[in-house]
Amino acid sequence: MPSPVEEAAFTDTELDIADELGVQLVRFMRLLTKAKSQVAKLGPDGIERAAYAILFQLVHDGPQRTSRLAEALHAEISTISRQSSSLVQHGLVERLADPEDGRACLLAPTSEGLRVFEENRRQRNRWLAEVLAEWPEEERRVLNKLLDRLNTGIEAHAPQLADQVSARSKGESA
pLDDT (tens digit, 9 = 90+) per residue, 8-37? 789 999 999 999 999 999 999 999 888 877
- Provide the mean pLDDT of the chain: 85
pLDDT tens-digit map of 65-100? 999 999 999 899 999 999 999 899 999 999 999 888
Query: Taking residues 118-123, what's their average pLDDT?
Result: 88
| Among candidate residues 124, 132, 95, the one with its CA nearest the CA of residue 110 | 95
Strands 93-98 and 101-109 turn out to be: antiparallel
Q: Residue 42's pLDDT band (boundaries 50, 70, 90)?
A: very low
Measured between alpha carbons, how far is 107 from 58 in angstroms, rounded to an integer?
7
pLDDT, average across residues 111-133: 92
pTM for the model: 0.73
Assign residue 46 a region: left if phi > 0, alpha if psi is -120 to 50, beta otherwise?
Answer: left
Is residue 161 over pLDDT 60? no
Crossing angle of helices 77-89 and 66-73, rounded to 10°: 110
Whole-number pLDDT of residue 169: 53
If one compares 167 and 113, the residue with the highest pLDDT of the two is 113
* Cβ count within 10 A of residue 168: 10
Counting other chains too, the contacts that 13-20 makes at CB distance below 8 Å and 24 or more residues apart are none
Q: Is 80 exposed, middle or buried (0-12, 13-18, 19+ CB in 10 A)?
A: buried
